[in-house]
Amino acid sequence: MSNQTNITEFLLLGFSDVRELQILHFLVFLVLYLAALTENLLIITSIALDHHLHSPMYFFLINLSILDLGTISVTIHKSMANYLMNTRSISYSGCVTQVFSLVLFAVSDFVLLTVMAYDRYVTICKPLHYEAIMNRKACVQMAASAWISVIVYSSLHTRSTFAIFFCGGNEVNQFFCEIPQLLKLACSDMYLGEVEVLIFSACLGLSCFVFIILSYIQIFQTVLRIPPEQGRHKALSTCLPHLIVVSLSVSTGIFAYLKPPSSSPSGLDLLVAVPYSILPPVMNPIIYSMRNKEIKASLKKLTGWGLFSKNKISIFLL
């Protein structure tokens, strides 16, 4: 205890100490952030304005886009500001806010993907009961329950993380405040409580993942019994984007958190954090818009591309 330092700020790891490369990294992050911002706002706006898309699946998709915007904003903003100001510091309260927000958005994202898997299961396997099970009230209750429970969980998780004593310095081997990297700064016998929380989190995540897998086993068994002319392709086109997003989220998270820890600052620690913290918010809207005909049609209406194409064809024929 006597060796504990009164930490008022943490130092985040940068991709490079060379000023020119810092500017380059800032520009890359800026492009990725603007891409995620534009894509997710287009998804949210197109669904909100198109009454044909006012169904449970698209209601949950709006929530997913909001969570994606939150996730990338939490991880990337401070890093971009540090690159511009040529600094590495983040305040203690700023680090607490990052941890709370990242846990909130990441866990909510996975819980929401689980709810969306259940929605796809009811749609495909119990179509006659869909309206009764997935009515408006039920959807709002599921979304609200997920948000409230995750807020409570995030508060407890953050409190558990910062209740430990940091006696290993204040240099975080990541470009944002990541819990595994913070635990490396803890006194050897003071972080066991947080490890227990992490184990609980892993079990919770595994439970959600198993539920999603079992749901899709039932879905594909049902889809394979549907004659091709009766909508098998349409059923698959609504399920595959969700399954791809789940796979992307799970694979990048596992890759980042099951990587053997390094005792010294490593560029690999930075690189493995990019796929799970930055790529999903950028890729999710692309995956949904590429595989979903309703989303593509709504986006064309919103951007005026459909009208432009029709006018272009008319002019060409004249």
Residues 33, 77: Cα–Cα separation, whole Å: 9
Type of residue numbered 182: L
Q: Indicate the DSSP class of residue 135.
A: -
C-alpha 160 chain-centroid distance: 22
Residues 182, 169: Cα–Cα separation, whole Å: 10
Residues 318, 310: Cα–Cα separation, whole Å: 12
Type of residue numbered 309: S
Mean pLDDT, residues 97-106 taken together: 90
User: What was the pLDDT predicted at 87?
Assistant: 86
Q: Which domains does the chain have, with CATH numbers?
A: 9-317 (1.20.1070.10)
Q: How confident is the model at residue 35 (pLDDT cuts 50, 70, 90)?
A: very high
Question: Does residue 316 sit in helix, strand or coil?
Answer: helix
Tokens of 184: 């490396």
What percentage of the chain reaches a pLDDT higher than 90?
7
Residues 284/68, Cβ–Cβ less than 8 Å? yes
User: What was the pLDDT predicted at 195?
Assistant: 65
Mean pLDDT score of the chain: 79
Residues 280, 245: Cα–Cα separation, whole Å: 8
pTM recorded for the entire structure: 0.80
Q: How confident is the model at residue 97 (pLDDT cuts 50, 70, 90)?
A: very high
| pLDDT tens column, 234-245 | 667 777 777 777
Q: How confident is the model at residue 291 (pLDDT cuts 50, 70, 90)?
A: low
Q: How confident is the model at residue 205 (pLDDT cuts 50, 70, 90)?
A: confident
- Measured over all CA atoms, what is the biggest interatomic distance in the chain, rounded to whole angstroms? 85
Mean pLDDT, residues 278-291 taken together: 80
User: What was the pLDDT predicted at 266?
Assistant: 56
Among 91, 52, 82, smallest CA distance to 170 is for 91
Instruction: Reply yes or no on whether the pLDDT at 283 is more than 90.
Output: no
Mean pLDDT, residues 253-266 taken together: 60
Q: How confident is the model at residue 82 (pLDDT cuts 50, 70, 90)?
A: confident
Mean pLDDT, residues 176-180 taken together: 83
User: What was the pLDDT predicted at 169?
Assistant: 78
Of 126 and 252, more confident: 126
